[in-house]
Amino acid sequence: MSTIFSKIIAKEIPADIVYEDELCLAFKDINPTAPMHILLIPKKELLNLSDAEENDQALLGHMMIKTKEIAHSQGFEDYRVVTNNGAGAQQSVFHLHFHIIGGRSLNWPPG
């Protein structure tokens, strides 16, 4: 699988990286929908959340904990975490990613 996200992980294309560890990488969205719009991606290639398996539980938990740290590092206490699962849910890059969004009023329901 080769996506724009795998190229960012490999440092083949630039990104405004705000966090990185051995399991995941976070960078600012190039088309932000809010003052804070960061994408958090696993370094492991997963197409979407439905491709995650039981052995991905620790990775997904790690990423959820990191959303808080990333939002706080950007100065935000209130934020939303969103993932789209499949083309019908508007997933456009088929590498699992979480949108960390904050800094404006976020209406409910989304979409």
Non-local CB neighbours of 106 within 8 Å, separated by 6+ positions: 34, 80
Choose, from 37, 62, 72, 97, the residue flagged as catalytic. 97
Residue 62 vs residues 2, 40, 92, 102, 105: alpha-carbon distances, Å: 24, 11, 24, 20, 27
Catalytic site includes residue 97 = yes
Active site residues: 97
